[in-house]
Amino acid sequence: MGQAGAFTTSFLEFPRVSFYSVLPADIISTVEFNHTGELLATGDKGGRVVIFQREQESKNQVHRRGEYNVYSTFQSHEPEFDYLKSLEIEEKINKIRWLPQQNAAYFLLSTNDKTVKLWKVSERDKRPEGYNLKDEEGRLRDPATITTLRVPVLRPMDLMVEATPRRVFANAHTYHINSISVNSDYETYMSADDLRINLWNFEITNQSFNIVDIKPANMEELTEVITAAEFHPHHCNTFVYSSSKGTIRLCDMRASALCDRHTKFFEEPEDPSNRSFFSEIISSISDVKFSHSGRYIMTRDYLTVKVWDLNMENRPIETYQVHDYLRSKLCSLYENDCIFDKFECVWNGSDSVIMTGSYNNFFRMFDRNTKRDVTLEASRENSKPRAILKPRKVCVGGKRRKDEISVDSLDFSKKILHTAWHPSENIIAVAATNNLYIFQDKVN
């Protein structure tokens, strides 16, 4: 087994592959590990959240160590109707973010287009029995029939995991929420929509501070929208947000109450040789993520992943081509709406490898140190237990080799938009439409 987080050839061998399928109708819309990696949450288009928990090590079943099983399922959001605008509000979960664990319960934020909710997920393995005023089924007893008093006792019961909504943060966004991010102070978080970013305190649901507002006075002058936002992992005053024009702004909340003026502005000058009819829309950033170290940010646009050093604003330090063979197909991708797909990107625990999804259920990993990259496929065929994931290759022209796939044979309906990487181990979760794949590095 390679070093934790390092990308070696052994990472490509996945003898234990777990594969989960949620209900066929529900497309997974977000995937997120918690801070320890013990839990993995998924949100889907139907407003449901499914949480998986990793099996504890056990001497009896060593080979089953580390598999993820369903821990809790709950309906987070329901479809709503905005009567003022005659609009339906989708229940699709756009993002889930975990809070760090501070007691026995787990807390997570889940959001749809308009409302953020704080959920508490807790275990109950004891049940009080022997109440005086009510019987075992909970029915009230006639006080006249009570002749003795007893002290209720806690008796063990089958483990029950319950999820309760602890806070509902509503009515703060005119536009559709695309991101939420928990601050490193663990007291506040932000939610971002197309034009505004709001800062919330976890305890207060009826107020939020607006910290970014890019809405122009005249909407006809609108040229860009906010596409993603994230807090710095260590500095609670710093956050970044990306735009549809391919730019990233870093803001410092100490500078002013309203962070419309950025502290840093990251933009790469456009390569004139790459200019095309669709240049503008493929430069839109779909995801932005700080590295765990807090020194770098990674951005994903339609064709590339870029790594930026916070200290250098004029260009990224690394650019990785995810599927450059699509550059000549942009017109068809516009026709079938694929050009609007919003891919996410993730860092591994040590920030040495980055991963993002593509089409045909392919996902790509790039090793920043060795500059090696690999294309893997999430499919049922290669997800049998002890299967080894074989690297895939797309043939861009000329003679196609035996196990290569040509660009025209790619299935654009099978897209991997959402992936997650365990915070410290080589375990990845890949959402392929309505299936969740969990790949784990082999154990010695």
Partner 1 sequence: MEVQKEAQRIMTLSVWKMYHSRMQRGGLRLHRSLQLSLIMRSARELYLSAKVEALDLEAPSPPARCPDPRLHPPREVEVPAACVPPDGEQPLPEPMDTQEEEETLVRCSPRPARVCRKRRSSSLSDGVDAGLVPSKKARLEEQEEAKDSSSEVPDCLPPPPAQAEGAFPNLARVLQRSFSGLLSRGPAASPTAPPARDAKPACRPADPMLSVLVRAVVAF
Binding footprint of partner 1 on the chain (CB under 8 A): 79, 85-90, 92, 113, 174-176, 194-195, 215, 217-225, 227, 244, 277-278, 280-281, 284, 331, 334-335, 337, 340
Shortest distance, position 219 Cβ to partner 1, whole Å: 5
Shortest distance, position 287 Cβ to partner 1, whole Å: 13
Shortest distance, position 349 Cβ to partner 1, whole Å: 31
Shortest distance, position 266 Cβ to partner 1, whole Å: 20
Q: What angle do CA 303, 380, 18 make, to 5 degrees?
A: 95
Nearer to partner 1, 86 or 147 (CB): 86
Nearer to partner 1, 18 or 243 (CB): 243
Tokens of 365: 């990993």
Nearer to partner 1, 19 or 175 (CB): 175
Nearer to partner 1, 214 or 396 (CB): 214
Q: Which amino acid is at 197?
A: I
Separation of alpha carbons 429 and 422, rounded Å:
8
Shortest distance, position 133 Cβ to partner 1, whole Å: 48
Shortest distance, position 49 Cβ to partner 1, whole Å: 19
CB proximity list for 126: less than 8 A, separation 6 or greater: 154, 155, 156, 157
Question: What three-state secondary structure class fits 377?
Answer: strand
Nearer to partner 1, 113 or 230 (CB): 113
Separation of alpha carbons 380 and 18, rounded Å:
10
Letter string b/e over residues 340-365, b meaning 16 or more CB atoms within 10 A of that residue's CB: ebebbbbbbbbbbbbbbbbbbbbbbb
Nearer to partner 1, 203 or 337 (CB): 337
Shortest distance, position 220 Cβ to partner 1, whole Å: 5
Q: Which residue has the tokens 């507002």?
A: 213
Q: Tell me, letter by letter, the H, E, C secondary structure of 270-336.
A: CCHHHCCCCHHHHCCCCEEEECCCCCEEEEECCCEEEEEECCCCCCCCEEEECCHHHHHHHHHHHHC
Q: What distance lies between CA 249 and its chain's CA centroid? A: 21
Shortest distance, position 228 Cβ to partner 1, whole Å: 11
CB proximity list for 104: less than 8 A, separation 6 or greater: 122, 123
Tokens of 189: 């978080």
Nearer to partner 1, 284 or 361 (CB): 284
- Residue 124 · residue 162 · CB < 8 Å: yes
Shortest distance, position 221 Cβ to partner 1, whole Å: 7
List, as one string, the DSSP characters of 203-235. T-SS--EEEEE---SSGGG----EEEEEE-SS-
Shortest distance, position 250 Cβ to partner 1, whole Å: 21
Nearer to partner 1, 223 or 314 (CB): 223
Nearer to partner 1, 176 or 235 (CB): 176
Nearer to partner 1, 79 or 130 (CB): 79
CB proximity list for 420: less than 8 A, separation 6 or greater: 31, 32, 33, 40, 346, 428, 429
